[in-house]
Amino acid sequence: MRPADPYATRREQGESERGGTQTGGGHPVHLETPLHSRSLAPPRPCAPCPIPDRPNLTVLTGAQADRIVVENGRAVGVTYERGGRMETVRADAEVILSAGAVNSPWLLLRSGIGPADELRAVGVDVVHDLPGVGKNLHDQLEVYITRASAQPLSYSGEDRWDRALRHAVQYGLYRTGPATATITEAGAFLSSADDVTSPDLQLHFLPAYVVWKDGSHTAEKIPGHGVTLLACNVRPRSRGAVTLVSKDRSVLPAVDPNYLDDPHDWEIAVEGFRRMREVFAAPAFAGLLKEEWLPGASVETDEEIRAYIRRWAKTDYHPVGTCKMGVDDLAVVDPELRVHGLDGLRVIDSSIMPNIISGNTQAPSMMIGEKGAALILAGA
């Protein structure tokens, strides 16, 4: 097993500073926030935020985009619903779509831009046949193990109202305490095998129980103290899709990440599980941990581990790829982020990534925004 590598130090301003490469360094790094920050701030490029005062910007809240208006092969505006009324705003130059890996393809599909057969099947008039819209969806899947803690060293119970109030006061006065924490306190990158030249597993350590209720999006309240370790395959090969279910915008699209469809992804998931157990067996944890709470020590064979993963693995919330950039048949945008076959329309968000990066997607998404802005200005 390769040594765990330095993980990008996280700061509340959203910066990532890695002291080295993913293939060297020999130890995980604590994930921290600046204790003297005046507030929980957005990423630094947006922090000054002079934009709202610009006379050429109007921000509408409570508005839902309905469709992109296309005339004679050019995107000329957007129709949206606000306060029960349908409105249309016209574009002098370009329409920029930045709604993310689910909503960007959803809006394109509702606008008649996408695979023609699929659009006709739900009653949407085809404006532009573009087969790749909504395809190539991929996301990083997390597998996790929870262990009971032998000592009260976790965040368990710290969200109780009286403690939460105390933490808020402490943060307000001194900028210290649990309110400064990321919850994900440490991490590492490692390779699943010796012949993997670039780390394909990412670990996150949380001093708290993380157990999701069956069939629910809420976490279980587990009594006592515990810790959680998560392993994520950062280069999944499985591909899913965002597809239109109805032309009615009140009906959400079908989002199928198709996790673990590729056998290789199963291999990495099982290997990640076994690596987490190796970490928990390290001498540094001796005396600090008790029994394995989930899935439990009885889960040992590959078949048992796969059954556990199938039931309890979860998204890492890194969907990308549904409006991918490229020049092949499934590409939606070209290298300048312009939608193939239409004028006046660009997509600028994580959906344009042809392949996910080997890590978190926030920083590259910010980069895509910065690069997209530069491309727009260059063509103005």
How would DSSP label each residue in 57-75? ----SSEEEEEEEEETTEE
Q: Which amino acid is at 170?
A: Q
Contact indicator for 34, 10 with CB cutoff of 8 Å: no
Residue 22 has pLDDT above 70, yes or no: no
Q: Residue 35 has what pLDDT?
A: 47
CA distance 343 to 346: 9
**Looking at residue 352, what is its pLDDT?**
98
Beta-carbon count within 10 A of 240 CB:
22
pLDDT band at residue 230 using 50, 70 and 90 as cut-offs: very high
Element (H, E) at 307: helix 302-312
- Which residue in 320, 325, 318 sits closest to 346, CA to CA? 325
Average pLDDT over residues 363-380: 92
Peptide bond into 295 cis (omega under 30): yes
Q: Report the percentage of the chain scoring pLDDT > 90.
A: 68
pLDDT at 271: 97
Residue 2: predicted pLDDT = 37
185 band by pLDDT with thresholds 50, 70 and 90: confident
Among the options 138, 167, 225, 318, which is catalytic? 318
Residue 205 forms beta bridges with which residues? 186, 229
Q: Point out the least confidently predicted range of 36-40, 73-77, 170-174, 207-211.
A: 36-40
Given a cut of 80, is residue 40 above it in pLDDT?
A: no
What pLDDT does 30 receive? 54
Beta-sheet pairing, 85-90 with 74-82: antiparallel
Least confident of 25-34, 52-61, 151-160, 197-206: 25-34
27 is catalytic: no
Match 């941990």 to its residue by tokens. Answer: 289
CA dihedral 133, 135, 140, 145 (to 10 degrees): 120
Q: Count Cα atoms within 13 angstroms, Cβ side, for 344.
A: 17
pLDDT at 216 over 70: no
Q: What is the mean pLDDT of residues 316-342?
A: 97
Per-residue model confidence (pLDDT) at position 26: 47
- The pLDDT, as a whole number, for residue 3 is 36
**Inter-helix orientation angle 263-280/302-312, to 10°:** 100
Separation between Cα atoms, residue 244 and residue 99, nearest integer Å: 16
Tens digits of residue pLDDT in 82-128: 999 999 999 999 999 999 999 999 999 999 999 999 999 999 999 99
Nearest alpha-carbon partner for 91 in 325, 326, 342: 342
Tell me the pLDDT band of 37, cut-offs 50, 70 and 90: very low
Of residues 129 and 16, which shows the higher confidence score? 129
In this prediction, residues 29-36 reach a mean pLDDT of 51
Residue 351 pLDDT more than 50?
A: yes
Per-residue confidence (pLDDT) for residue 214, from 0 to 100? 67
Place of tokens 């006046």: 344
Give the count of beta carbons closer than 10 Å to the beta carbon of residue 274: 14
Highest mean pLDDT among 33-42, 183-192, 201-210, 276-285: 276-285
Sequence-ordered alpha helix ranges (H) in 133-291: 161-174, 263-280
Residue 24's pLDDT is 54
Model confidence at 276, in pLDDT bands (50, 70, 90)?
very high
pLDDT confidence bin for 7, thresholds 50/70/90: very low
Instruction: Answer whether residue 203 shows pLDDT above 60.
Output: yes
Q: Are 236 and 262 in contact (CB under 8 A)?
A: yes
Q: Is pLDDT at 16 greater than 50 in this prediction?
A: no
For range 279-292, the mean pLDDT: 93
